[in-house]
Structures are given as structure tokens and as C-alpha cells.
Structure 1
Amino acid sequence: MSQSAPQPPQSGPVDGNPFAKEAPAPAPGAPYPPQPGAFAPPAPAAPSRNNIALGLVAAVVAAVATAALYGLIIGGTKHEIGWAAVGVGFVIGLAAGKAGGNNPVLPVVSAILALGAVYIGQLVGVAMIGADQLHVSFSELFFQHFDVVQKVWKEDADPLTFVFFAIAAFAAFSGSKKAAQ
């Protein structure tokens, strides 16, 4: 039997590993890439969103928009709708959390803004219904006789009205916390 002679190393293997390839030399003046096992600095972390001002602006804009939409829903249906109050709160919290990040002030501010948005939305709805019944314009009733609109709202308020406030505040608080994650 004849024995085979040992093969000479082929060009390319590194440290006897036939699957490894030699790295090309860097261009003149360029730094050498880190070698395996050598210290390499950690990758930069993703920037954290913690911009309270942007979160507050987003929450206020969302509160104004959702208050108007909630008022239109109440005025159009002539009923308070619970899921709409949930939507008001959730949209406000979502806007604050996505834009402002995980600042602990934002869920609290979102809940407060949700209370205000639901209240203003209910007043807009009452004014729309009243303007239709009295054959006057909405803007005349809402802006020139705001005290009358508030008085009618207060007389029509029942325990369910305040449940909608609580639902909206909870949805805003939890929505803000979840959106910031």
C-alpha cells in the first residue's frame, strides 16, 4: 500500500482551518478591523424617547381633536357612547406615550386631558342637540350661551356620565404607559 504524502497548506486557510478565509488587508491609512476575540466597543444603544414637551403637545392636540369628534358623535346620535369615551382616552394616551416616551408625568397628564376632552365633548354634544331643537346655530349657543349649555349638561348628568369620565381617564393613563414601551 502506498501512503499519501501530506498535502502542503493551501493558500487561504487560517490557522489550519480550511473553512476560514483570510481577511483582505485594509486600505492604506485605514484602521485594522477588530480581530476575533479582541475587544470591540459595544454598539450604541437606541435613543430613548423621553421628550416631555413633545408628549404634552401631542396629548393636547389629540385632546382637542377627540373632544370635537366625541361631541360630534354625541350630537349626531343624541346619546353618550361608552366606547367613544374609551377611544378619547386611548388616543390621548397613545399620542402622549408615542411622542413623549416613558416620562412618568405623561400618563397623569393624559388622564387629566382625557377628563377635559370628555367634558368638552359632552358639552359640544349638548350644544349640537340644543341648537337643533332651538333652531339656532351651534356657535351661537356654544359660545354666546355657554352657561346655558353647562346648566343643561349638569341637569342631564347621571352616574353613567361619570363612569365615562373614569373610563376615559383609565384608558388614557394605561394607553400612555403601553405606548411608551
Structure 2
Amino acid sequence: MTQPTPPGQGGQPYGQQPYGQQQYGQQPGAGQPGYGYPQQAQQPYGQQPQQPYNAFPQQPQQPQPGGFPPPPAARGNIGLGVAVAFVAALVAAGVYGAIIGATEHEIGWAAVGVGFVVGLVAGKVGGSNPAVGALAGVFSLGAVYIGQLVGASMIIADKAKIDFTEVFFDNFDLVQEAWKHEADAMTYVFFAIAAVAAFGSAKRAGQ
């Protein structure tokens, strides 16, 4: 008597599978009997899907009204830069006056140094605003003027054998008159080069 074929064997003897018809590691395709697990895409051994280095999405820059790019961030503190430049001008005036009093001559490079120092300090602290450079030039003019008065007072005090403070503070009007009498074309040239040096150094330092 012929024995009935067990269900699910497809006519093959019980316990036998056709070896070699299905390769190792293959998953049953559509319409083939499987084990109920979803088929996954095979990746080469040892390789992982490549991800971009920066996995975070880049946020697009929002355009500004009118299509213009956003303005650069403000740099420097104008008020503090002006205040520091004023203090630097006072210090430079004292140094410049001491040089004039010691040499009894107006020195061009010293006037340039006054403007350079005042402008450098103003630009470093106050930034690249043109107003900072303009005020640095004005402060340099004042520093050169005060420095020349200090130098003249030192020369007068030395020749008269009196104290410097007595000449500079008690007889300031006389010192100004003496300065006007001694001023020449080169005196005003020193004013100009100090102001130009201050404005230029402030502009470079603020960049």
C-alpha cells in the first residue's frame, strides 16, 4: 500500500531536502515559504552605510529685508575708546613737553609719536568707526599744543631758576604769549603730522 505524502514536503520523501537547490544564506523570495521574518537588505561584510561627516542639517541663512546680507557685528566701544584716547593724549603731551624741555627744540618724530600712540589706543578700544579716528586727531592736536606749552614752561623755569609749576600754572597766560611769539611754520606742520598720524593709526588699529 502506498503511504500518503506528508503535507508541506512537495512530494519528497519524509525528512529529505533537495540539497544544493537553495544556496546558504539566501532568504526565500516572494511566493516561497519562509519563516515569517522580513527580508533585510544585505550589506557587504564589515561595511557600514556611509554617513556624511556633519550629520546635522545646515540651517539656511535667512535673507534680510531688501535682499542685503546681514551687517557685520559692531566691534569696539566708541565711548570707552574716546575716553582712553583722551587719557593717552594727556600722557603723550607730558612726554612730548619733557622732550622739548630737555632738548630745547621741537622734534618732528616726537609729534608723530604723539599722534601714533593716541590713534593706536583709540582704534584698539573704540573700533573702526571714523568718528574715533577724527577725535583721536583732535586729541593729538591738543596733546602737541599742551606739550609745547609744557616744554616752553620747562625752558623758562630753567632759565629763571624757578619752579616749573609756578611758571605753568601761575603764569599760564605768559607761557601762551611766549609760545605765540616763538611759533613758526614748522610748529603748525607738527600739528598736521600728529593729526594725520593719529587718524591713520586709529583706522589701522580698528580693522
1:23-172 alignment, distance < 5 Å: 35=55, 38-40=57-59, 48-172=74-198
Q: CA deviation at 1:131?
A: 0.2
Q: CA deviation at 1:102?
A: 1.4
Once the two structures are aligned, what percentage of the paired residues are identical? 53
Tell me the matched-pair count.
156
Q: CA deviation at 1:8?
A: 4.7
Q: CA deviation at 1:14?
A: 3.2
Q: Relative contact order (alpha carbons < 8 A, sep ≥ 6): 1 or 2 greater?
A: 1
Distance 2:100 2:60 in 1: 58
Distance 1:66 1:97 in 2: 16
Q: CA deviation at 1:47?
A: 5.6
Q: CA deviation at 1:50?
A: 3.3
Matched, 1:9 2:45: yes
Contact 2:76–2:124 under 8 Å retained in 1: no
Instruction: Flag the 1:39–1:170 CA change in 2: closer, same or farther, 3 A.
Output: same
Q: CA deviation at 1:103?
A: 1.7
Distance 2:44 2:198 in 1: 72
Distance 1:14 1:60 in 2: 65
| Alignment gaps of 5+ in structure 1 | 1-6, 24-33
Q: CA deviation at 1:86?
A: 0.3
More helix by share: 1
- TM-score w.r.t. structure 2 length? 0.69
